[in-house]
Amino acid sequence: MQTILVIITFLLAAGYLLNKFVLAPFLDKQKASVGTLDGGNTKCGKSDCGCH
């Protein structure tokens, strides 16, 4: 029983790290490159941009 809990905890941790460092930057890069001239680095159009 304890081995199963260790395996589940390890898989959850590995999945989190995979999502955080491998999948998330890849998906953010795809989303950010569409629609702005500077590759998604602008904040204009949002309420917290500070330019209004």
> Between 18 and 33, whose confidence is greater?
18
Please give the pLDDT value at position 17. Answer: 93
Measure the CA–CA gap between 17 and 24, rounded to whole angstroms. Answer: 10
pLDDT band at 25 (very low <50, low <70, confident <90, very high): confident
The pLDDT tens digits of the residues spanning 29-50 come to 655 555 555 555 565 655 566 6
